[in-house]
Amino acid sequence: MKLKSGLLVSALLISTSSVAGDIKRGQELHDENCVSCHKSMQGGDGTGIYTRENRRIDSYQGLVKQVKRCKTSLGVSWPEHQIDDVITYLNDSFYKFKTDK
Ligand code: HEC
């Protein structure tokens, strides 16, 4: 338990000391892993799912939740910082929510 909260604290420190994740790494991870389903649903390069009119996500917290949900259905176990990278990429490129960081 102690170890776990220590990790949590350092993850928070890392994500607040930089702007958050690394956009370029996030895009690479995203393009390699996250587009297959979205493409078959949305066509094109799949990113239309993030900008469609009736998109689901309307807050930064919602984005975080959905990325984690999709990551689970993808079946990968990424460390927090990689999840952060992908969230940062998506937010920077498509959603543009304020992160209050
Ligand atoms: C197994 C198929 C699958 C994979 C792989 C997948 N997704 Fe998704 N994703 C979905 C589905 C299905 C939805 C739509 C959910 C809905 O509309 O209810 C979705 C929706 C989303 C949305 C919300 C779009 C909106 O409406 O604003 C985000 C963000 C997202 N995915 C991120 C990711 C990320 C990041 C990855 C890679 C880690 C990923 N997805 C991998 C199936 C997948």
Residue 17 has pLDDT above 90, yes or no: no
Residue 9 has pLDDT above 60, yes or no: no
Q: How confident is the model at residue 18 (pLDDT cuts 50, 70, 90)?
A: very low
Distances (CA, A) of 6 to 13, 50, 99: 11, 34, 23
Q: Is the CB of 93 under 6 A from ligand 1?
A: no
Q: Closest residue (by CA) to atom 24 of ligand 1?
A: 50
Of the candidates 74, 53, 63, 46, which has an alpha carbon nearest to the alpha carbon of residue 97?
Answer: 63
- The Cα 33–Cα 71 span in angstroms is 9
What is the pLDDT averaged over residues 46-71? 96
- The Cα 83–Cα 86 span in angstroms is 5
70 alpha carbon – ligand 1 mean position (Å): 5
Q: Which pLDDT tens digit goes with each residue over 30-54? A: 999 999 999 999 999 999 999 999 9
